[in-house]
Amino acid sequence: MKKFFKIFGIVLGLVVVVGGIYAYVVFDAASDLVDAIYNPIEREDPREDELELGYDPISILLLGIDREEYETGGRSDTMIVVTINPNDNSTNMLSIARDTLVTLAGRGTQERINHAYAWGGTQMAIETVQNLLNIPIDFYAELDMSGFGSLIDAVNGVTVYNDFAFTQHDIFFPVGEQTLNGYQALAFVRMRDIDGDFGRQGRQRMVVESLAREIIATGMTRFQHIFNAVEDYMLTDLTMDVITSLLFNYAGAIRDINQFDMQGQSSMINGMYVQIIPESQLLEMQTLLRRHLELE
């Protein structure tokens, strides 16, 4: 019996050592890949106090850049602001319609919010969102939509619930829960229904929420596979330390996601279709997000 425990102890020790080496190798490889997509943006930081990562609520701006539809360098046709509070274990996810009328930071012109990226790239997009919502944007993640499918395939698909049957890009989406691969998911989020861009936003949030859950559930062991899939399509100022903190300190909050949007009044200004957000609705959303970030 003593011999058995001795052998068992040796085997257990080997498992721990090998596991530790494997975890280090995986983490080291993931760090290299994060470095490859790391792209810090100099911008105004409206926070009065320095962010204490792991304890303070944080905000992340998710940008989906569509370059195929435009002759310019692309526009941010998907804009989702995510606030994550580890203290009450909740996450808020706000979709901003691409046609929302705003004053562009640094230009002073009133245009659609997706023009911010076209005129001034990520910096103008971030600062415009900060001004609109009166909150700091701590981090951003920018994904070229041509790499969207690769990311979803890397986590073995996303699960969504479809409210009504429709066909998009020759793909039939029945009513009910279904798991979509990358190509299917891209068609799913691009479809516009009778609700126009708002229905599209709802599907985007659904896919992003499912994707976030899949990435959290994946853990470190498949991170290299995930990063390999998006390395050529993604830019972010999330460091490996921040990503690790998201996995360990904010994971509980990401499991409870509340979804929001702002529905404005449709209007034509200088031949341009826009959504004008009522001041009362905008103030309500600003207050909600600032409280969630514990700024007031």
Q: Please check whether the domain covering 2-292 is classified as CATH 3.90.950.20.
A: no
Greatest pairwise CA separation for the chain in angstroms: 86
Tell me the whole-structure pTM to 2 decimals: 0.78
State the amino acid at position 213 in one-letter form: R
With contact defined as beta carbons under 8 Å apart, do 152 and 158 qualify?
yes
pLDDT in tens, the chain (296 residues): 544 444 444 444 433 333 333 334 445 555 666 777 889 998 878 888 889 999 999 999 988 887 655 445 566 778 889 999 999 999 998 989 888 999 999 999 999 998 999 899 999 999 999 999 999 999 998 888 778 888 888 888 889 998 888 888 889 999 999 999 989 988 888 787 655 566 777 787 788 778 777 776 665 556 667 777 777 888 889 888 888 888 788 888 877 889 888 988 888 887 888 889 999 999 999 999 999 999 98
Rounded CA separation 262/230 (Å): 30
Dist. CA 95–CA 235, nearest whole Å: 20
- What pLDDT was estimated at residue 233? 83
Q: Are 112 and 70 in contact (CB under 8 A)?
A: no
Structure tokens at 226: 């995930």
Q: Any bridge partners for residue 82, and if so which?
A: 60, 93
Nearest to 287 by CA among 205, 221, 295: 295
In the three-class reduction of DSSP (H, G, I as helix; E, B as strand; rest coil), residue 249 is classed as coil
- Dihedral pair phi/psi, residue 189, rounded to 5°: -80, -15
Q: Which long-range contacts (CB under 8 A, 24 or more apart) does 216-221 make?
A: 216/247, 216/251, 216/254, 216/255, 218/155, 219/247, 220/23, 220/26, 220/27, 220/30, 220/247, 221/26
Confidence (pLDDT) at 102 = 95
Rounded Cα–Cα distance for residues 101 and 94 (Å)? 16
Q: Give residue 23's pLDDT.
A: 39
Q: Of 61, 58, 21, 48, nearest to 241 (Cα)?
A: 58
Residue 261 · residue 55 · CB < 8 Å: no
Alpha helices in the chain (DSSP H): 2-37, 115-133, 148-154, 182-190, 197-218, 223-230, 240-248, 251-254, 279-292
Looking at this protein, which amino acid is placed at residue 152? Answer: I
CA neighbours within 13 Å on the CB side: how many for 236? 26
Domain-wise residue ranges, the chain: 2-292
282 vs 36: CA distance, rounded Å: 37
Give the integer Cα–Cα distance in Å for 259 and 248: 23
Residue 224's pLDDT is: 67
Report the alpha-carbon distance of residue 217 to residue 235 in Å, rounded.
22
